[in-house]
Amino acid sequence: MRSVTTAKNNVLVLDGSPHTDGVVAQLIAALPFGEATHVRLYDTPVAPCIDCRACRVTGRCALHDMDALYGALEQADVLVFATPVYNGSFPAPLKALVDRCQVYWSRRFALGQKPPIARHKRVYLLSAGGAATKKADGLLAALKPLLTVLNGELVAAVHAADTDTRSDFSAELSAVTNLR
């Protein structure tokens, strides 16, 4: 089972990059929130949702590789999605985690739990993309319905664009440093 120790201040960083020294890693390092639980999804990928629909009846996932991570998600006060853009969306390991949050959709819409997670979360999106597009529209679109079932509120999004040709990300790093 995945082991996750939730930091005292309940900041959870979901890291969708395979790189420990990429632009996403730089954005994460600039976060001003202090101690955080940093989960690198490429290091220990979660299994994909198999749409078995058990969660529609039990409110829980039938797979158990993510039990500790579900706990960390539910306890988080600050949730950071930090990720490169892959084909307009999340890289596969982070997408798998997003899909496994179907359990919260089931709690809300099949079982009528409102909210499905009691603890409200401030949510931040840090992203990087090789293209010149200034915003991570695909990620923002995918996050919107997810956050309604996570009891999360998107506070800010910082996107580092054009990473294929740029090497100076001081403006984006400064924006992250100034997040509150």
Ligand X SMILES: Cc1cc2nc3c(=O)[nH]c(=O)nc-3n(C[C@H](O)[C@H](O)[C@H](O)COP(=O)(O)O)c2cc1C
Binding site for ligand X (CB under 6 A): 17, 19, 22-25, 84-88, 128-131, 163
Minimum CB distance to ligand X smaller for 90 or for 104: 90
Shortest spacing between CB 173 and ligand X, in angstroms? 13
d(CA 177, CA 180): 9
d(CA 120, CA 52): 28
Shortest spacing between CB 25 and ligand X, in angstroms? 6
Shortest spacing between CB 153 and ligand X, in angstroms? 25
d(CA 48, CA 150): 18
d(CA 147, CA 3): 24
Minimum CB distance to ligand X smaller for 10 or for 17: 17
Shortest spacing between CB 124 and ligand X, in angstroms? 16
d(CA 7, CA 9): 6
d(CA 151, CA 142): 15
Minimum CB distance to ligand X smaller for 22 or for 115: 22
Minimum CB distance to ligand X smaller for 118 or for 164: 164
Q: What is the CA radius of gyration of the chain?
A: 16
